[in-house]
Structure 1
Amino acid sequence: MNRNLSNCDSTLDSGEERDAVKEAYIKYKGDMGKILNDVIGVTYEDEERLRKMINDMIESGELKATRNFVSEPEKRKARRRKAAEREAEEAEKMLKEIQKNEGAKDLVALIQNRQQRNLASLDQFCDSLAVKYAKKPRKTK
């Protein structure tokens, strides 16, 4: 998984990412929310960086400016940010819940191991008592 994350970091500001952003810009006619959802490995935190990248492509003539991109309302940006923060909080809660459940599973496993050890030592104790107090066979003459 770390290899995938480092792989994703290497595409940051690379030609691959630039092509993906350009393709998404054309596909969604400059709708930044859809662009952020379409480009892999990008979060709302990358919005300003992508905006700068797109503006550079518009200035160089690679892309045409669209009304969706140029005159995007601040409310839409704020709504995207709040939604992303809400998703992050939900993901954090889910992670804690999963960790708590896995911790409970580990606890159950520890208890079961201890019970098995106790049963084994009880069996040994009973066997030693049986040997000690068992009737010894009488010797026949």
Structure 2
Amino acid sequence: MGLLARCQELFSTSNLYDVLGIAKEATDAELRRSYYKVSLKIHPDRAPEDPRATDKFQVLGKLYSVLSDKEQRKVYDEQGVVDEESDMPRCWEEDWRLLFPKITVQDILEFEQKYKGSDEEHQDVIQLYVQHQGNMDIIMDSALCCSQEDEPRLRGIISDAIQAGEVTAFAAFTQESEKKKKARQNRFEKERQEAEEMQREMGLGEQEDSLAMILKQRQKSREQNFNGFLSDLEAKYSKKGGSSQKVRRGKK
């Protein structure tokens, strides 16, 4: 099965740019940053509950190799086809790690303090809202530095943008049922309890950030194949990256 068909199967779209959530005119820096952010969300260590996570990660790597190659990208842009004969790297895990070196838990915590409430977060949230047409399940899963407690704040950002006429009022957001909201809250609560249980099993101190320390411990024991949340914000720290992509808002 070809790359475009695999994208349709795994990501529900055959448009390579849509998989990454970027415009066709995206710069190399925007392409790299979006590839990083999407790959982290679907990384097998980050999404162990998804049986197709490994396939998604590998297909995303192939997608990136096409769009990051000027000649292949030009052919795709002009003809809508990709070179299916080109070989994928032997190990996308190693290739991905070469692009994005590791950062520390302290880096994450410091970034989170600066990111929450910033203009950058506002733009990211609105972009997710437009991209996923108001689906809060996906928005909450995709937003950076986000927990259950942040949902009212993110909903406020979106509601203000709708009221100001900046974006379309998608029914998935404005008419979301209480049942769906409750199901999402229950899922977050279950994940929180699982994280606390893992913390107790590992004997981690309460003064440490629970989730970060759990993932740090997992990194030590699974060094060869772990690239999870400890690297979740590298794209935003990268000095090589460009400015964030401007949101293309879906106005009525």
Q: Does 1:80 align with 2:176?
A: no
Aligned-pair distance for 1:95? Answer: 1.2
Moved over 3 A (4+): none
Distance 1:56 1:29 in 2: 16
Which gives a bigger RCO, structure 1 or 2 (Cα 8 Å, sep 6+)? 2
Aligned-pair distance for 1:6? Answer: 2.0
- Counterparts in 2 of 1:28-43, with a 5 A limit? 28-43=132-147
Q: Percent identity?
A: 34
Instruction: State which of 35, 46, 51 in structure 1 corresponds to 2:150.
Output: 46
Residue 122 of structure 2: aligned partner:
18
Q: Does 1:97 align with 2:201?
A: yes
Q: Taking structure 1 as the reference length, what is the TM-score of the superposition?
A: 0.67
Aligned-pair distance for 1:60? Answer: 1.2
Q: Taking structure 2 as the reference length, what is the TM-score of the superposition?
A: 0.38
SS in 2 for 1:63: coil
Deviations 1:28-79 (A, max 9, x none): 1001111011111011211111111101111111111000000000011111
Name the one with the larger helix percent: 1
Q: Which runs of 5+ in 2 are unaligned?
A: 1-104, 205-252
Residue 67 of structure 1: aligned partner:
171
Paired letter, 1:2: Q
Question: Which protein is bigger by CA-based radius of gyration?
Answer: 1
Aligned-pair distance for 1:99? Answer: 1.8
Q: Which runs of 5+ in 1 are unaligned?
A: 101-141
> What value does the CA root-mean-square deviation take over the aligned residues?
1.3
Count of residue pairs brought into register by the alignment: 100
Distance 2:147 2:108 in 1: 16
